[in-house]
Amino acid sequence: MRKHKLLFITHESALSGAPRSLLYFIEWLRSYRKEYEIHVLSLKSENSLDNAFKTVSDVYFDLSNVSDKIDYSFKNRIKRKLTGVAFTSEKDRLLGEIVHNPYALIYANTVVSLPIALQLKKQLSSAKLLLHVHEMATAIEQLLPNFKSLHVHVDHFIAASDLVKEHMVRYFGCDETKIQRVYECSDILITADKPILEPVSAKRVIMVGGAYWAKGDDIFLLLAKEVITRDPSIHFYWLGSQSIERKTVNQGDMDKLEIGSHVHFLPHTSKPHDIVKMMDVFALTSRSDSFPLAAIEAGLLGVPIVCFEKASGIQEIISKGGGEVVPYLDIQKMAEAIIRLVTSDEIREKKTDEVKKLFNNCKPDVISEEIDIILSKLLKK
């Protein structure tokens, strides 16, 4: 049986949400769709996931360390004189190798992958182009300012949440009929480790993610100040990496707010779920976060979630139960919601049951089947 060749473009191979979601889907395809030959193009390589993408792909291309400078070496000058072949860069030669494959579909993961996907599609006119958008409007404007002029060449879109879809239509004029919403997915891995978090008897609130503007690490500190002032038995934990700039700024803010004894920044770990399962509330302080995997994982672990309205697709789940949605950047309302959940065992237990059931639909097998239906329909057109 002749296999359809599919090219998946990942903007990076780090442990961030979008590449992980793509990896889940490719792994599922390898298990259940033997009729596809899977090629992966990574625009930026990281040691953490390189081997995983290489393992799940039939062919793996790495563009991260490829030069785009034209090679005017003596060897190439002689070759040009003898054969008439034009001077090319290492990047051009790699892309030339890629377009020699008759791909049925190019799957561009994140808007960052769109420019290179369009460059390839120009030479692969029969290939369908599917763009999976994981970003909300602010991030799209920052990452791809000319998205409005480029998206018209895309055959179909997947949006990571209804909010992402709304932003695509409202701010960039995307054709709503070409967009399907598919939530992000993740899974949890609990080990035998039993982390010790001080103080042992504290009630705990956590946020997970790299510290920067979109995740709201500054909001997290203001929220902690508001909650701790009302109830000093509650402690706050941020799990994730910090740049030197964010670390020094956050430490300075904690000193001035006098909350250093109640706020704990924990370094990135390969076993985050062992820590998250020990928490009473997940405080999603993000300003712009399409559908964060850390929130999915907290939900699967039964940790109630409090989030801001209009800030992430997580509100679409939590509006049905499992936590509370509060007005955008309303720190007082979020503080009140956290205190309600922390101080009432009855409310928290109810929200725990709800959040587990609601996020059970955001597991890789469920979401992969949804994406596969979209992909199959697009290939049949």
Q: Is the dihedral of CA 65, 71, 74, 78 positive or negative?
A: positive
The values of phi and psi at residue 86, to 5°, are -70, 155
* pLDDT greater at residue 378 or residue 200: 378
Task: Give the start-end residues of each E strand in the chain.
Answer: 4-10, 36-42, 59-62, 105-109, 128-133, 156-159, 179-181, 203-208, 234-239, 263-266, 281-284, 305-308, 323-326
pLDDT band at 49 (very low <50, low <70, confident <90, very high): low
Tokens of 136: 């909300």
> CATH for 203-362, among 3.40.50.2000, 3.40.462.40, 1.10.3720.10, 2.60.120.430?
3.40.50.2000
**Identical fold between 4-185+364-380 and 203-362:** yes
The values of phi and psi at residue 313, to 5°, are -70, -10
Q: How many CA atoms lie within 13 A of 292 on its CB side?
A: 23
Q: What is the pLDDT of residues 162-185, one digit of tens each?
A: 999 999 999 999 999 999 999 999
Does residue 272 sit in helix, strand or coil?
helix
Q: What is the pLDDT of residues 214-236, one digit of tens each?
A: 999 999 999 999 999 999 999 99
Task: Provide the residue type at 75 as one letter.
Answer: K
Let me know if domain 4-185+364-380 sits in CATH 3.40.50.2000: yes
DSSP codes of every residue in 64-95: TT---SB---HHHHHHHHHH-PPP-BHHHHHH
Q: Are 362 and 161 in contact (CB under 8 A)?
A: no
Q: Could you tell me the residue ranges of all domains in the chain?
A: 4-185+364-380, 203-362
**How far, in Å, CA of 130 to CA of 180, rounded?**
11
What's residue 75's pLDDT? 64
